[in-house]
Amino acid sequence: MLAAERRNRILEKVHENKKVIVNELSKEFDVSEETIRRDLDKLEEDGHVIKSYGGAVLNEKSSIDLPFNIRWKSNPSGKQKIADLISDEIADGDHIILDASTTAVFIAKNIKQKRHLTVITNSIEILLELSDVSGWDIIATGGLLKSGTMSLFGKKAADSISSYNADKAFFSCKGIDLDKGATDRNDDSVVVKQSILSSAGKIYLAVDSTKFGKVAFSKICSLSKVHVVVTDKKPDAAWLEAFEKMGIECIYAE
């Protein structure tokens, strides 16, 4: 196993368990403890973990984008429930924007039976997923491809999205909070998502239940900018009351 692949596997474990132990990783990957420590040094240098005695813990405040394959494995059942709900919100002939979240990839997989859609996206994974669909217009934003993210970012991506007027836009985030709004890891993703918000008539925030009550580093928008919140579980009464006061429709899986 290459060192980069091993570090990726270690990072997956950190996100699953919130921590890892050096001697356990050494046995699992059949390498020396010193090799594992070097791997953890690299992951700490990249901002993903904080080394602790005998191992490392997840850096919850990191603004570094996670590799796509790790984001993909986070609550897939919840994301599928969200995609099922959103499929009912998309009509044949709609012009839609999908962001570069893994939730949006689940949405793309779920709407292939629709007819004559126009899809604008900065997600390489969505472009690949929809490459075999006929009768649609698939528009890529262009922009800077960031390593491991399967996403296009930067001014070119944001400007491209801003040049369109879509019917509906679907975006996700790392945290949703009643005071701080929708937040994400860093400014690169936020700039593009803010362009998405200004380029569609109806804005859907597709966010699984693990993101409620969390705040990430960069603010995307206040919740007042969102028309519909789609999630995998019924939010508690305080959230539902707040959504009602703000005029936000909340759709959730039963």
Tell me the per-residue pLDDT of 114-143, one tens digit each, with 9 for 90 and over.
999 999 999 999 999 999 999 999 999 999
Report the pLDDT averaged over residues 247-253: 97
pLDDT at 173: 95
* Strand ranges (E), the chain: 19-21, 49-52, 55-58, 95-98, 118-121, 137-140, 144-146, 151-153, 166-171, 175-177, 181-184, 200-206, 218-221, 228-231, 249-252
Query: β-strands 19-21, 55-58: how paired?
Result: antiparallel
Query: Are 53 and 172 within one domain?
Result: no
Report the pLDDT averaged over residues 66-76: 63
Query: Are 125 and 140 within one domain?
Result: yes
Tokens of 32: 């020396």
pLDDT at 48: 81
Boundary of a domain, candidates 62, 77, 100: 62
In the predicted model, is pLDDT for residue 98 greater than 90?
yes
Report the pLDDT averaged over residues 17-25: 88
Query: Are 139 and 57 within one domain?
Result: no
Element (H, E) at 162: helix 155-162
Mean pLDDT, rounded, of the chain: 91
Tell me the per-residue pLDDT of 213-242, one tens digit each, with 9 for 90 and over.
999 889 999 999 999 999 999 999 999 999
pLDDT at 72: 53
Query: Are 228 and 108 within one domain?
Result: yes
Query: Are 148 and 77 within one domain?
Result: yes
Instruction: Decide: residue 99, CB within 10 A, 0-12 exposed, 13-18 middle, 19+ buried.
Output: buried
pLDDT at 69: 59
State the total domains in the chain: 2
CA-angle at 132, arms to 127 and 134, nearest 5°: 105
Range of the domain at 48: 3-62
Angle between helices 22-29 and 33-45 (to 10 degrees): 110
